[in-house]
């Protein structure tokens, strides 16, 4: 089975379309979305519609909750907050219900999927160190957990016998016996690792390999739509440099 894993789309339709085309070319069987379909970008409704059609498993992100009043907006920085308020106005009742009904954590085959952390998904903390990864490995049993949230692709692995945790920015990961993994697949619609290309992952259970890929997309159109919608201009500019 080949899984395509996407996260942090953030209403960026141009990036989503490029990523889905790449996943289709790679012969993916099932699609997984690790949250944050909306927020920041100018196409919340179309992105949501596509994710609903394509993804077999989807979990909610903090921006998805913010856009329907499930998360206090004080949590967000001023630009993110403006985009969430704008997004809220775009959504109809049916779309709000869809977001509301998304689970925070779900199984996908043998793997686990959560936007932020298995430890306390509703608190929207980050797994950004071996310390926080180690705390989280104790909270789930699956061999692999896919996450998003930081918009930075990274792999945390834990040696089951020694309990030792390490991290790597490898883009090709062999899922080895005796190891467990927390894999951040990076962001489709707003990468923040100084690489503006859209990020996603493919998990091939046949070869036991996870690969993180980057693809080009029409950044200029995504930026123009953000500016035309009256969203904060900084949300457009950052897409050129991947920050
Ligand atoms: Zn996000």
Output the six-digit token pair for 150: 């930081």
Burial letters 131-150, b for 16+ CB under 10 A, else e: ebbbbbbeebebbbbbbbbb
The alpha carbon of 61 and the centre of ligand 1 are apart by a number of angstroms equal to: 7
The alpha carbon of 192 and the centre of ligand 1 are apart by a number of angstroms equal to: 10
Mean pLDDT for all residues in the chain: 97
Q: How far apart are CA 189 and CA 42, in angstroms?
A: 11
The alpha carbon of 162 and the centre of ligand 1 are apart by a number of angstroms equal to: 33
Report the Cα–Cα distance between both ends of the chain, in Å, rounded: 33
pTM: 0.97
pLDDT one-digit tens code per residue, 134-144: 999 999 999 99
Residues with CB under 5 Å of ion ligand 1 are 8, 36
CATH classification at residue 146 = 3.60.21.10
Domain that holds residue 31: 2-241
The alpha carbon of 81 and the centre of ligand 1 are apart by a number of angstroms equal to: 13
pLDDT one-digit tens code per residue, 70-92: 999 999 999 999 999 999 999 99
Q: Given this model, what pLDDT does residue 10 score?
A: 98
Output the six-digit token pair for 160: 């089951």
Q: Given this model, what pLDDT does residue 20 score?
A: 98
Q: Given this model, what pLDDT does residue 46 score?
A: 98
pLDDT one-digit tens code per residue, 116-164: 999 999 999 999 999 999 999 999 999 999 999 999 999 999 999 999 9
The count of domains in the chain is 1
The alpha carbon of 177 and the centre of ligand 1 are apart by a number of angstroms equal to: 31
């Amino acid at each position: 089975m080949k899984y395509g894993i996407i996260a942090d789309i953030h209403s960026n339709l141009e990036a989503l379309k490029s990523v889905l085309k790449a996943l289709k070319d790679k012969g993916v069987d099932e699609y997984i979305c690790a949250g944050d379909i909306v927020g920041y970008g100018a196409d919340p409704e179309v992105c949501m519609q596509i994710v609903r059609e394509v993804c077999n498993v989807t979990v909610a992100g903090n921006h998805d909750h913010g856009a329907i009043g499930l998360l206090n907006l004080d949590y967000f920085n001023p630009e993110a907050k403006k985009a969430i308020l704008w997004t809220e106005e775009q959504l109809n009742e049916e779309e709000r219900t869809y977001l509301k009904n998304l689970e925070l954590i779900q199984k996908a085959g043998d793997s686990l999927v959560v936007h932020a952390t298995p430890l306390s998904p509703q608190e929207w903390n980050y797994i950004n160190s071996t310390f926080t990864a180690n705390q989280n490995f104790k909270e789930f049993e699956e061999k692999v957990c896919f996450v998003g949230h930081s918009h930075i692709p990274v792999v945390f692995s834990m040696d089951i016998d020694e309990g030792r945790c390490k991290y790597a920015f490898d883009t090709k990961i062999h899922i080895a016996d005796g190891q467990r993994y927390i894999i951040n697949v990076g962001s489709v619609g707003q990468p923040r690792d100084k690489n503006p290309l859209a990020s996603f992952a493919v998990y091939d259970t046949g070869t036991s390999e996870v690969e993180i890929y980057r693809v080009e997309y029409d950044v200029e159109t995504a930026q123009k739509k953000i500016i035309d919608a009256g969203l904060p201009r900084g949300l457009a500019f950052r897409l050129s440099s991947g920050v």
